[in-house]
Amino acid sequence: MLTRLPLICFLVSVTAIAADLTPERYWNTALPNTPMPNSLRHLFTPDFTDEKSTDVQVGKGGVNVNAGKGKPGGGTAVNVGKGGVYVDTGKGKGTHVSVSGGKGPGGGVGVHTGKPGKRTDVGVGKGGVIVHTRHKGRPVYVGVTPGPNPFVYNYAASETQLHDDPKAALFFLEKDMVPGKAMNLRFNAEDGYDGKTAFLPRGEAETVPFGSEKFSEILNTFSVKPGSEEAEMMKKTIEECEAKRVGGEEKYCATSLESMVDFSVSKLGKYHVRAVSTEVAEKNAPMQKYKIAAPGINKLSDDKSVVCHKQKYPFAVFYCHKAMMTSVYAVPLEGENGLRAKAVAVCHKNTSAWNPNHLAFKMLKVKPGTVPICHFLPETHVVWFSY
């Protein structure tokens, strides 16, 4: 009889130590044999990579941590003693929190000060203190017209999308995936911001409101004006996350890297799992004609997968769904200017539950459930599969 106890124990054990891990370390703990795609690694803010965190052992007498760069007044002072934790962010203001051994994974405390993207995070666990400071703020919204997400399959295409959305060209028929086939493609999906929206650590992401019933609070949290284009974009993302499932698929909106890992592991298991993304040799490559290079088309998976699509939001949010009856391919491409790309394509063998007016059907002039439909993944999207 097959038992899922080891997987359950694994998830519990990983969750228990999550408070003391950066997102990158969490990945390495949960998936030690799975390399992280560059598309995800690039979504860490500098202060949340391993190089920027500070780890200090805590003794009975307390400890002082300075996370600055050696300059007077530059950094965050953290004093931990029997009485609690005091955090001084360098501006004469601080946060005092009592430390209890009975709450949280293994005891400890987490402190968050400031708004998302511009705060100080302090995690105190059994082993010590991890301090992270961020002061860069979130990327500035520069504008993108909200429209139906082509990777949410219960939406119909708009007329504007048929003519103007560069993602429309990402859809193609499986029979056309042959060496020499030419397609006009652009892989860097626009999210409306002038910089990459980054992951928040799970401890921070879980304190940020998310959901249509909390929309006013969300706008206030991110200082977004109600009725603005950015507000409409954020509202659209939340609606997509809350939309009904297509054909019984399992879906989840991950608001942190850790939650994306947990969802994918829960659907595919922790062993023999890969996560891959499209890689283009040039940053911000323009729309151009690519040809499928020969040889090199490689089928990576031919069963189930978890596909995670990056959403338009002030911080990194991914719409993930478990896809059955799918094939995953690695496809080498060469642009007309010589630019090379290692594209990831997902082919859906059963599209009968999709909206009959979905963008793919309009572009390819086929009907639901008749032929396998494929799409390339933009650079910031990820597909997980077991092998």
At residue 160, the pLDDT reads: 57
Calculate the CA 209 to chain-centre distance: 17
Task: Give Cα separations from 165 to 54, 186, 187 (angstroms).
Answer: 43, 10, 12
pLDDT, tens only, 235-254: 999 999 998 887 777 999 99
Q: Which two tokens stand for residue 302?
A: 């031919």
| Neighbouring-strand partners of residue 298 | 330
At residue 187, the pLDDT reads: 86
Tell which residue, 275, 387, 279, has the closest CA to residue 331.
279
Query: Which residues have a Cβ under 8 Å from the Cβ of 59 and sit 6 or more positions away?
Result: none
pLDDT, tens only, 64-107: 444 444 443 444 444 444 444 444 444 444 443 434 344 333 34
pLDDT, tens only, 26-49: 999 999 999 999 999 988 865 544
pTM value is: 0.72
At residue 178, the pLDDT reads: 94
pLDDT, tens only, 308-318: 999 999 999 99
Mean pLDDT, the chain, rounded, equals: 74
- Yes or no: say if 200 and 255 are a contact pair by the CB < 8 Å rule: yes
At residue 202, the pLDDT reads: 93
| Confidence band, pLDDT 50/70/90 cuts, at residue 167 | low
